[in-house]
Amino acid sequence: MIELRQLTKHYGNIIAVAGLDLHIEKGEIFALLGPNGAGKTTTIRMLTMLTKPTGGTALINGYDVMRDLDRVKKEIGVVPQHMNLDQELTARENLELHGRLHRIPASRRQERIEELLDYVELRERAGDLVNKFSGGMKRRLMIARALMHNPKVLFLDEPTVGLDPQTRRKIWDLIRRMNSEGMTVLLTTHYIEEAEVLCHRVGIMDKGRLIALGTPRELKQKVGEVVVESFGGKDTGYKLFPSRDRALAYAGQLDGNVLIREANLEDVFVELTGRKVGD
């Protein structure tokens, strides 16, 4: 369970996170969705105690991230946005270091390492130095590392950025599997489809604020489930409708090419902010 109350972070004059209130249930996969600079990473860094909040509180399974540092550290696993594996160590040694840092006794540590190497399918490469790994292998190893000490809450900051579609699917499967074993997952992404296929609930962030919150379904219903795209003149026009009939009626009045399709989270985002993700 993750609980944020008015969580705030200022960097000088920049307000990176502006009073976030959020409650994430145990066993949920929750995505923070938003464009670059929305404040997703800053939020994760505060929850993982890498940055001190300017204000507000955050609790993880009831432990305060400002005060119960050691308790929180046991509860959470962290997969950061940037690759921060130890490049001078092998894959197995990276896991071993993490296990030792969490004081897992030697025999249990070895078992867990082998288990996780299988889990993320890196057994054959376990003895290789990490700097020889591809992006997808590194990301999988980072996930394995975060899982070493059996955390109950997992944070993943843009877990699939820069990966090919196949590897991305693999990571999604991994996240689903961990979740089905009871893990609470908070991930950030700016890939709409990732939030849509993977997550139970989505919070849309923009400029440090949460501008919408709900299941992907709810969010689409809120802005309209059917989209009419019209290609007349210079710009593509978008309009959202609550039902197919209304959309058809509207489309009938338009000249030029018209496309009627189901709404996705991208439409929700555009509708709420007037911008596209990535702008």
Partner 1 sequence: MIEIDFYTVFWREMVVFRRTFVKFFASRLVSPLLYLVAFGWGLGRGIQMNGGNYLEFVVPGIIALSAMNTSFNAVGVSLNMSRLYHKTLEEYLIAPISAGAFVLGKVLAGTVRGLVASLIILVLAFVFGAHLAINGWFFLVVILTCFLFAALGVVAAMTINSHEDMANFATFVILPMSFLCGTFFSPDRLPGAIAYIIEVLPLTHASHALRALARGDGLLPVSLAVLAGYAAVLFVAGVMVVKRVR
Ligand X SMILES: Nc1ncnc2c1ncn2[C@@H]1O[C@H](COP(=O)(O)OP(=O)(O)O)[C@@H](O)[C@H]1O
Report how far residue 158's alpha carbon sits from residue 273's, in angstroms, rounded to the nearest whole number.
21
Q: Which residue has the tokens 């197919």?
A: 244
Q: Closer to partner 1 by CB, 78 or 198: give it.
A: 78
> Which of partner 1, ligand X, Mg ion, none has residue 85 at its interface (CB below 5 to 8 Å by kind)?
partner 1
Using alpha carbons only, what angle is made at residue 71 by residues 185 and 171, rounded to the nearest 5 degrees? 20
Q: Which two tokens stand for residue 269?
A: 């985002």
Half-sphere exposure of residue 174: CA atoms within 13 angstroms, side-chain side? 26
Cross-strand partners of 203: 32, 213
Among 13, 82, 180, 235, binds partner 1 (CB under 8 A): 82
Site residues (CB under 6 A) for ligand X, limited to 28-87: 34, 36-42
- Give the residue from 258, 229, 231, 233 showing the smallest Cα distance to 241: 229
> Which of Mg ion, partner 1, ligand X, none has residue 48 at its interface (CB below 5 to 8 Å by kind)?
partner 1
Q: Closer to ligand X by CB, 36 or 257: give it.
A: 36
Contact 32, 188 (CB under 8 A): yes
Using CB positions, name the residue nearest to Mg ion: 41
Report how far residue 65's alpha carbon sits from residue 185's, in angstroms, rounded to the nearest whole number.
17
Q: Which two tokens stand for residue 1?
A: 């369970």
Q: Which two tokens stand for residue 92?
A: 């197995």
Among 10, 15, 19, 51, binds partner 1 (CB under 8 A): 51
Size of the site for partner 1 (CB under 8 A): 27
Q: Which two tokens stand for residue 197?
A: 């296929």
| Shortest separation between residue 100's beta carbon and partner 1, angstroms | 4
Q: Would you give the binding string for Mg ion spanning residues 5-44, x where CB under 5 A is met?
A: -----------------------------------xx---
What is the binding site for ligand X (CB under 6 A)? Answer: 11, 14, 16, 34, 36-42
Binding stretches for partner 1 (CB under 8 A):
48-52, 69-70, 73-74, 76, 78, 80, 82, 84-89, 93, 97-98, 100-103, 145
